Amino acid sequence: MYTTTWCGYCVRAKALLDSRGLDYEEIRLEDDAGFRARLHELTGGWTVPQILIDERPIGGYTELWRLEREGRLDELLAA
């Protein structure tokens, strides 16, 4: 998960994953002056968080929350 320390949605995404007991790697980008360009290159998104599951971008917090709510997060994790 690509994050910055000042991002509220990053905090929410980490809390959701923590509440499920799921491990994740957090890559903080605030020290990279051109992080938005780098992020777009890596994930196709401009905003944080950008979450990848098995190197496949799924989007940000809203998309993660939607996957969890619809019961599809477990499917993605099991694949």
Topology of domain 2-78 in CATH is Glutaredoxin (3.40.30)
In this prediction, residue 27 carries a pLDDT of 93
Total-model pTM? 0.89
Token digits of residue 78: 């099991």
In this prediction, residue 38 carries a pLDDT of 82
In this prediction, residue 6 carries a pLDDT of 92
In this prediction, residue 25 carries a pLDDT of 96
Residue 27: strand pairing partners: 2
Query: Per-residue pLDDT tens for 30-72?
Result: 888 888 888 888 898 989 999 999 989 999 999 999 999 999 9
> What is the residue extent of each domain of the chain?
2-78
In this prediction, residue 13 carries a pLDDT of 98
Alpha helices in the chain (DSSP H): 8-19, 35-43, 61-69, 73-78
